[in-house]
Structure 1
């Protein structure tokens, strides 16, 4: 007789492990105690592995259902191996710190545990994110082992197995490198910040505020999606997670007032994706970028501000024009919260204000996040609705560790990829090939890299997608003379945009699932709505003013002209400004918008002239036909 059991029986153990991991993170990354980096990363990854094997079944069909007891037994054995890896870092810490790279012997124990660690990382990656990143990491491993058999143009000289294990397991260049270091420190700190906001119910103010701000705006539910996703996405760290968190509310509302299912799903997908590029928190990849570039988090968040604003401004403009053109409805009155109630809740946003203030005061990213998290506990006590009890705090700690499973798994898998790239030198070959194809043409180089970033990022979560493309693509741009921050933000954007770019657009698929729409159609509509995000990176490489770099006058002009330009761009794409655009007007609006987004006095004047000409022509037509004026956004 086949024995089966529900994995829920392991949840109490997982809960305890989650709380313990979160407390460990607070003590040893929050500034209370100091721990050597290899040990910190080793314990963190070991605990994450244990959590994944306790909570996530090996096959999706068993999620929430009974599964063969042999699976549970195997997972408990894998937990034991994960614990052994953590203990190894504790016992061998001195040897790890003092070993001479590629000189000291790699012992049999190193080989066994190193091999086990790589296999476990691949497995937790498969369980938490699916096959795409698993396959990419496995392909790089196979390339490292067997690349010497490939043609010289793409192969390498060969790597001994013990050297591969040394790189991946014993050094800080592979699994336990920069990616996992960031995941075990900065990213975890912000995941905890988001978990405490969620558990205290203080994040509810995001949706209430969004509903209140859009209550009198035509097509309001879609605009709720923008505001709610921008606010929630800045602390969620995952575009698909953001879709499911806010989309279950906004997508049915959008359909109710008249948006097509594909358009509704696409709006939520694009809005949720924008949370990864919206300061002050952005996504996990931004913290990895801060480490890889050495620039620090604050300069990156500052540079990303205007492009993120333009991203959402373009989405808002396109949604408004869609609503006015099709005469769509407003947010149902019963869903609009009382203004006084929302105003009384505005102090729920204080933790975010404290976070920003701490960053601007020069405190470290990690201490700022923990300080803001502590403020959530204090502020939550002022209301019965939000009050965190001792049990609530434990729940928030456990939720922090649970939410970190996917990110830390991805960071470890990304470390495998980076390690192989470093060890084989394939990155330099890639740069050489791309540079040769582009010649001296910077635009072609950016175009090749944009396509490469989207392909490499397909189906891969944002953080590892960025690491892959930053390791391969950013150096190519810097070699062409592009400043470091512009180069990294360029590949960062296209790594993110892969989640809304067909054929593998996982965030758009998530929106389509909720909207009950065709997934591919939703993906193509998402591309259209997010078009500005595909254009902006090319613009800020040529004109750094869009990254708030330059004189005050240049930055102000870039802000004003690009905001107007985005309206022209949206009108050209939607075929509507103040009335339906004629065929010849759409390219004028689109090109005029592009010229205004590109900073420069001549392009601004010419672009504005194009938009104004179309505006005057449409105003004359509307007056003669008696078309009512549009509502305000």
Structure 2
């Protein structure tokens, strides 16, 4: 999309933009339109039943076992119906070729379902007929993906598929050449088995993602989106730069459950961007604020653009752990964005909207109290639930349902006492800010399904799919009854007739949820080809060699190149496909090259690192889709909007480098007390970093102050770097004393050994750092046996025999050649040394910060001081 005339699009054009990218630009009328809507509705009903506890009793076993195929069949068929293939294709009817492509694609997606017995009998190996059907299926999948996702995803998948077939050709460089695969083998891997298209990614889309997308669609249909935006403007709109601050908070609220940064930009941006322009933001800056806050919604738990559920499968940790680790960086990133727009407003002395005078400190305190209260409410829910379960062990489910229903009715009664919220016109001559004290009652019941979702996820530790099912089930009830109950409490005549409106809202919400899932379903399926290529060809090692060559073995350069490659790979891809691609190709690179450089990082940190840079592609020109969408709303220049949004997103760029080296930021292995300290210090650190990059703190920064602020931010985020200069973190042990060190170490202590030896593929000698955690057994020999070590002493050299198969050490050292002329040996051993707490570095850093604050407040003008408080 281009905007040569920098014209802001109309409301209808914006809705068409969102539809074209998220739910399909075609909406045929009449019987055909009804039939397509019915198919979308059936898809939603099937997915809800699949996620329900009653699924084994309602759905046949073969439908459950082949749910991935059914999921893809719906997505391919609806893509042909909802997304025009060409720009010239009709929007009000479906041409014959789309019927052929839709029905043919659905049949081929169900090939594994129809011929399940034949495939099982053949051991999953495709015969000639299977291979041809699979090739046709891939072709129609590419066409469907092109409709919904654009050419980038398809081109990427085709390039990888070509590598599968032609990677053994002589014209392919030796460094990336592989043995090659026949058509039957490749199609078995990509279409018949669960290694390619029907792999983990599509399975996650089927089990989890659909329910969360449906939950978001139903919540928005119920009116929660407008309520959240109104509350954000009521709380923040009166502040200096208030519309921008409200845009950040409103986008954060909608981004919690949204899987699309483009939809987030347009949904909240149609209201926030005109108001931002009214108070003094340029079109580009207004669009950039919306882009930065909307794209950040993709890193915010609990959904993270569906990436959270994929991380569960790829990293092998629980969903609760994933969102725990992802939470703090996302929150402080949003805090920094609010501060960015505050500094922009103060620097440019922007006016306020309305005549309400409230200090920013009190406002932030009130917001913090609200979110803290909501978190406490979610956590405290377990206690009354526990009492009910203990009092009614056999009927607790019914009792809890009745109590929840009574709470819902009470909140609906509160909502009926105030008028329903109507969307405001941001272009009206006089903008009246909502009064939070008056409007908060109108939507408190929207929090109930969110509390139910959080309760089942965090307290009960149920699966994401089951948790989303119960939250969605509650939303069914809300959509069906909210209008009728409000009308009843207001004493309106024929209140029962509003039940029909509720049924219509529910059906439309389910149809919207299914249409929003078309692109995500096809993205996960198409990305499966890339995942399948990696597992079939081993191209991940090629990527590692390529990055190692570019970086020259330098750790920081390696991370920078991985970040750039993740950014490039993510261009033009929706969030879900983006994460699958960058994680499949780049995670192994960071893990392997990091270990060679002595960097041992938890796998979740590496996944978050590549994910953060992947989604930055939505911001960054020339393919910043969210920036183009924001420019369409603001009428600003799309390229300038993209670059400004990237500047505003610098804290999102910096944070991954921080938590790679300081995993405390991901709350890994920290206590509650440490977690609180990390949150406070990280918040101060990100605000200081923001002030440095914006060139303004309490007054305009002098150059030395900007440098000092950057140093302070670095010290707060990475205090270990400074402490390591004072006291080394490790002490060296002679390799010959390795066995003795293992025997003398305490249980759960960690030794770091550097293993040197020939690489299995290249035969070149390489180094690999391996962490060794001391097991809970006595004696050096028993500990070495449990760890999998087979040691041979040759003078001062400790030679390693091939580790026992299936041990953790065996997996870690699988890339070495143990049978060559050059032995694999332990070249160095390091043990953790006693060190002062790294948090002591915070003291001089905060003292220096206090000095800068003192100096700047002394020279700040009274007007600026007032602006800081407004």
1:93 aligns with 2:93: no
CA 1:443–1:215 in 2, change beyond 3 Å: closer, same or farther?
same
Deviation at 1:53, TM superposition (A): 0.6
Q: TM-score, normalised by structure 1?
A: 0.93
Deviation at 1:463, TM superposition (A): 1.2
| Deviation per residue, 1:114-144 (Å, 9 max, x gap) | 1121111111111111111111111111222
Would you say the 8 A contact 2:119–2:126 is kept in 1? no
Q: State which drifts further: 215-224 or 328-337.
A: 328-337
Q: What corresponds to 2:167 in structure 1?
A: 147
| Deviation per residue, 1:457-485 (Å, 9 max, x gap) | 11111111111111121122233221111
Aligned pair partner of 1:457 in 546, 549, 570 = 570
| Deviation per residue, 1:493-514 (Å, 9 max, x gap) | 1111221123321111211221
Aligned pair partner of 1:362 in 435, 440, 461 = 461
Q: What corresponds to 2:76 in structure 1?
A: 49
1:490 aligns with 2:609: yes
Deviation at 1:427, TM superposition (A): 1.1
Once residues 75 and 615 of structure 2 are traced to their aligned partners in structure 1, the CA distance between those partners, rounded to angstroms, is: 25
Q: What secondary structure, in the 3-state scheme, does the structure 2 residue paired with 1:236 have?
A: coil
1:374 aligns with 2:473: yes
Once residues 343 and 665 of structure 2 are traced to their aligned partners in structure 1, the CA distance between those partners, rounded to angstroms, is: 25
Mark the runs of 5 or more structure 1 residues left unpaired by the alignment.
none
Would you say the 8 A contact 2:161–2:529 is kept in 1? yes
Once residues 447 and 627 of structure 1 are traced to their aligned partners in structure 2, the CA distance between those partners, rounded to angstroms, is: 38
Q: What corresponds to 1:76 in structure 2?
A: 99
Would you say the 8 A contact 2:628–2:638 is kept in 1? yes
1:316 aligns with 2:338: yes
1:162 aligns with 2:184: yes
| Deviation per residue, 1:330-349 (Å, 9 max, x gap) | 24551424522223422212
Q: What corresponds to 2:646 in structure 1?
A: 527
Once residues 226 and 574 of structure 2 are traced to their aligned partners in structure 1, the CA distance between those partners, rounded to angstroms, is: 26
Once residues 394 and 6 of structure 1 are traced to their aligned partners in structure 2, the CA distance between those partners, rounded to angstroms, is: 16
Moved over 6 A (4+): 385-388
CA 1:64–1:328 in 2, change beyond 3 Å: closer, same or farther?
farther
Q: What secondary structure, in the 3-state scheme, does the structure 1 residue paired with 2:700 have?
A: coil
Deviation at 1:161, TM superposition (A): 1.3
Once residues 615 and 453 of structure 2 are traced to their aligned partners in structure 1, the CA distance between those partners, rounded to angstroms, is: 24
Would you say the 8 A contact 2:126–2:192 is kept in 1? no
Once residues 303 and 31 of structure 1 are traced to their aligned partners in structure 2, the CA distance between those partners, rounded to angstroms, is: 29
Q: What corresponds to 1:597 in structure 2?
A: 717
Aligned pair partner of 1:353 in 436, 451, 463 = 451
Aligned pair partner of 1:183 in 205, 226, 232 = 205
CA 1:359–1:627 in 2, change beyond 3 Å: closer, same or farther?
closer
Mark the runs of 5 or more structure 2 residues left unpaired by the alignment.
1-25, 355-430, 487-497, 720-837
Would you say the 8 A contact 1:456–1:468 is kept in 2? yes
Q: What corresponds to 1:106 in structure 2?
A: 127
Aligned pair partner of 1:577 in 690, 693, 697 = 697
Deviation at 1:196, TM superposition (A): 1.0
Pairing 1:245-256 to 2, within 5 Å after superposition: 245-256=267-278
Q: What corresponds to 1:306 in structure 2?
A: 328
Q: State which drifts further: 206-215 or 401-410.
A: 206-215
CA 1:508–1:594 in 2, change beyond 3 Å: closer, same or farther?
farther
CA 1:627–1:206 in 2, change beyond 3 Å: closer, same or farther?
closer
Once residues 592 and 16 of structure 1 are traced to their aligned partners in structure 2, the CA distance between those partners, rounded to angstroms, is: 59
Would you say the 8 A contact 2:126–2:185 is kept in 1? no
Aligned pair partner of 2:286 in 264, 268, 279 = 264
Q: How many positions carry a matched residue from both structures? A: 621
Would you say the 8 A contact 1:175–1:416 is kept in 2? yes
Deviation at 1:7, TM superposition (A): 4.2
| Deviation per residue, 1:363-395 (Å, 9 max, x gap) | 111010010011112334244579762222222
Q: What corresponds to 1:12 in structure 2?
A: 34
Once residues 110 and 705 of structure 2 are traced to their aligned partners in structure 1, the CA distance between those partners, rounded to angstroms, is: 68
Aligned pair partner of 1:431 in 517, 535, 544 = 544
Aligned pair partner of 1:60 in 69, 87, 98 = 87
Aligned pair partner of 1:568 in 674, 688, 705 = 688
Deviation at 1:613, TM superposition (A): 2.6
Q: What corresponds to 1:617 in structure 2?
A: 855
Deviation at 1:535, TM superposition (A): 0.9
CA 1:446–1:602 in 2, change beyond 3 Å: closer, same or farther?
farther
Q: State which drifts further: 425-434 or 252-261.
A: 425-434
| Deviation per residue, 1:169-208 (Å, 9 max, x gap) | 1010111111111111200010110111122223322111
Deviation at 1:106, TM superposition (A): 1.5
Q: What corresponds to 2:513 in structure 1?
A: 400
Bigger Rg over Cα: 2
Q: What corresponds to 1:630 in structure 2?
A: 867
Q: What corresponds to 2:48 in structure 1?
A: 26
Q: What secondary structure, in the 3-state scheme, does the structure 2 residue paired with 1:276 have?
A: helix
Once residues 267 and 163 of structure 2 are traced to their aligned partners in structure 1, the CA distance between those partners, rounded to angstroms, is: 38
Q: What secondary structure, in the 3-state scheme, does the structure 2 residue paired with 1:310 have?
A: helix
Would you say the 8 A contact 1:502–1:520 is kept in 2? yes
Q: What corresponds to 2:706 in structure 1?
A: 586
Structure with greater proportional helix content: 1
Once residues 93 and 31 of structure 1 are traced to their aligned partners in structure 2, the CA distance between those partners, rounded to angstroms, is: 25
1:278 aligns with 2:300: yes
Would you say the 8 A contact 2:231–2:436 is kept in 1? no
Would you say the 8 A contact 2:283–2:635 is kept in 1? yes
CA 1:429–1:46 in 2, change beyond 3 Å: closer, same or farther?
same
Q: What corresponds to 1:509 in structure 2?
A: 628
Q: State which drifts further: 47-56 or 427-436.
A: 427-436
Once residues 627 and 251 of structure 1 are traced to their aligned partners in structure 2, the CA distance between those partners, rounded to angstroms, is: 25
Would you say the 8 A contact 1:221–1:330 is kept in 2? no
Q: What corresponds to 2:352 in structure 1?
A: 330
Q: TM-score, normalised by structure 2?
A: 0.68
CA 1:116–1:487 in 2, change beyond 3 Å: closer, same or farther?
same
1:237 aligns with 2:259: yes
Once residues 63 and 287 of structure 1 are traced to their aligned partners in structure 2, the CA distance between those partners, rounded to angstroms, is: 37
